[in-house]
Amino acid sequence: MVSLEQRREDFARLHDSGCFVIPNPWDIGTARFLHHCGFRALATTSAGFQFSQGQADTVLGLSCEAALAHIAELVNATELPVSADFQSGYAHEPEAVAANVARCVDTGVAGLSIEDATGEPGQLYDLDLAVERIRAARAAIDGTGAQVLLTARAESYLVGHPEPLKDVLQRLTAYAEAGADVLFAPGPRTREELGAIVSAVSPKPVNAIVMGNMGLTVADLAGLGVRRISVGSALARTAWGAFMQVAKLMAEEGSFEGLGNAASFDELNTIFEAYDGASAHPGVRNDT
């Protein structure tokens, strides 16, 4: 059994050098399969989870209580360290963000991220308030005495800022000074943009996100100085893409052809039995 303290130490150590992929499961099964694949840490995805609940992904679309319950579920799914996609802290004012961050730390996470989108279309928090929110999150983590990494996210690209790179560099530099351990700006896709971000906040580590086939490999991103690579909702959307295609074939053409690509029942059973122990009814199959 890996202790919570050890998970947090391991997660912090991953950021000291090199580059690692931190994939984003959206339920217990996907978390355990990613553990089975050999990944060394996991990150939640608010979008992936909300899609699984039949909800659109919005900054304010999920309650703090629902988010915390989901985060705790993934923390307990494996022995890997988990970093939480904690949206904008599920609050506006710094004091309320701090209170929610302390609750998130209590779930057992090894890290968490706070973003600067307000939840209103195209709107970011004013820089001064955004910085205060990061300072409040930092103080809340420090107050727990836990070794939990704080990631600060600048959403300038995602909200359609007219000069996103310039705004990201200003914001991430300020967040680094306010106490963020890791810096993250979803949206940049070119080597030049990513390199500029890495240089601006060095020596603090940068998280890059790969939401599709952007033509860069892990080795490419590592060469740019990126320390951590997440995939956000991309794995969930890939699964949804396969599911939707097969379901549409059945509904529209009466064809079951798409089921030929289904995962093996025996392979899945074997993987998950490693977590749950022996079957409750040995020798009995239930493929349904």
Q: What is the pLDDT of residue 282?
A: 39
Instruction: Show Cβ contacts of residue 237 under 8 Å, excluding neighbours closer than 6 positions.
Output: 48, 51
Percent of the chain with pLDDT over 90: 90
What average pLDDT is seen over the chain?
A: 94
The conformational region for residue 122 under phi > 0 = left, psi -120 to 50 = alpha, else beta, is left
Residue scoring higher pLDDT (183 or 213)? 183
146-180 tens-digit pLDDT: 999 999 999 999 999 999 999 999 999 999 999 99
Per residue in 78-108, pLDDT (tens digit) is 999 999 999 999 999 999 999 999 999 999 9
Q: In terms of Cα–Cα distance, which of 92, 91, 87, 80 is closest to 31? A: 80
| Spatial separation of the C-alpha atoms in residues 277 and 285, rounded to whole Å | 16
- Report the distance separating Cα 259 and Cα 247, nearest Å: 9
Summarised one tens digit per residue, pLDDT across range 214-254 is: 899 999 999 999 999 999 999 999 999 999 999 999 999 99
Which of 214, 208, 205 lies closest to 231, judged by CA?
208
pTM of the predicted protein model: 0.94
Domains of the chain, each with CATH number or no CATH: 4-232 (3.20.20.60)
What confidence tens digit (pLDDT) does each residue in 262-275 have?
999 999 999 999 99
The SS3 call for residue 228 is strand
The two counts, helices (H) then strands (E), for the chain are: 11, 8
Between 61 and 191, name the one with better pLDDT.
191
What is the mean pLDDT of the segment spanning 259-288? 74
- Which candidate, 61, 54, 63, 60, places its Cα nearest to that of 26? 54
Q: Where is 152: in which H helix or E strand?
A: strand 149-153
Task: Report how far Cα 112 is from the mean position of its chain's Cα atoms.
Answer: 9
Helix segments in 145-187, DSSP class H: 164-177
Report strand pairing: 42-43 vs 82-85.
parallel
- Which tokens is 124 given? 């970011």
| Residue-by-residue DSSP string for 76-116 | TTSSS-EEEE-TTTT-SSHHHHHHHHHHHHHTT-SEEEEE-
What is the predicted pLDDT for the residue at 287? 59
Predicted confidence band of residue 286 (pLDDT cuts 50, 70, 90): low
pLDDT band at residue 278 using 50, 70 and 90 as cut-offs: very low
